[in-house]
Structure formats: C-alpha cells, structure tokens
Amino acid sequence: MSEQAPEQAVETPLVKHPLQQRIFHWFNAACFLFLWLTGIAIISNSGYQIGPTFYINAVNNLFGGATRLLHTHVYVGMLWFGVLVVSFVLDPHGLSLRFLRDLIPTRNDLRWMRTRVKAEIDPSTPLPEQGAYNAGQKAF
C-alpha cells in the first residue's frame, strides 16, 4: 500500500521590482551616502562647518588631502548623475515611466493621508487601497 504525499504548495517569491531596478536602487543609495559623508567633510569653513573637526580631518586623511577628497566627491557625483540619466533614457523595461506614473497623485491619496493620521491614533483603522506607492511615499 502506498501513501500519497499531500500536495505541497509551491511558494513563489514576491518581486515588486526587477533585478536591474534593485541594483540601481542600491547604487543610488551607496552614491548618496558616499556623497553625503564626503560632502560633510568638504564643508570645513568655520562659518559653515557641519561636521566635527575630528571627522573632517579623518576623512581628509583617508583621501590624502582636501583636494583629492573634493575631486573624488565630484567624480562620484558625476558618475552617479551619468548613471541616473542613462538608466532613465535607456530603460529597457519601461521602469522609469512606470515609476513616474506610479507617483502621480490620485483622488484616493488625500483620503489615505487623512485616514493615516487617524490610524496613528487607532492602529485598527483600515487604510484605503493604494497602488504601488501610498500617498506618503508619493509625497516624500
């Protein structure tokens, strides 16, 4: 007598964004973080200084001086912008247009914002349906 194994449900991964878009996202995040951290070190004039002096000195030493730091900052910024432009222009999957379309506000977004404020007070408050991005993400 043979027993049949119960049929197992096959889980398929939920992929909201294709691999190329995820890679671009992390490239974008890494460049932003790098430029933010080096930018803080570049602003070293005492009237405008944002970061502490020890941080500015450490980053300058890491790059071999303020001039090299500035050049690296500028080159990474140009690379970042170049990749951004190329990825939007040569977008093989239409992700750029889809992304921009997903950011267009809808009538439902204002209702979502009002309901979201209520949901902060009462977490059981159901939120209206949203598309790929909710109204808060679109506003941000």
Task: Give how far Cα 65 sits from Cα of 33, 49, 61, Å.
Answer: 20, 17, 6
What does the pLDDT read at residue 48? 87
With b for 16 or more beta-carbon neighbours within 10 A and e for fewer, the 103-126 pattern comes to eeeeeebeebeeeeeeeeeeeeee
Residue 127 pLDDT > 60: yes
pLDDT digits (tens, 9 = 90+) for 40-88: 999 988 788 889 999 999 999 999 999 999 999 999 999 999 998 888 8
The pTM for the full model equals 0.61
What does the pLDDT read at residue 4? 60
The alpha carbon torsion through 137, 117, 109, 89 (nearest 10 deg) reads: -10
Cα 47 to Cα 25: distance, rounded to the nearest angstrom: 35
Residue 2 pLDDT > 60: no
pLDDT digits (tens, 9 = 90+) for 4-37: 656 666 777 777 777 887 888 899 999 999 999 9
What does the pLDDT read at residue 11? 79
pLDDT digits (tens, 9 = 90+) for 90-113: 877 777 788 888 889 888 898 998
Domain boundaries along the sequence of the chain: 17-93, 103-140
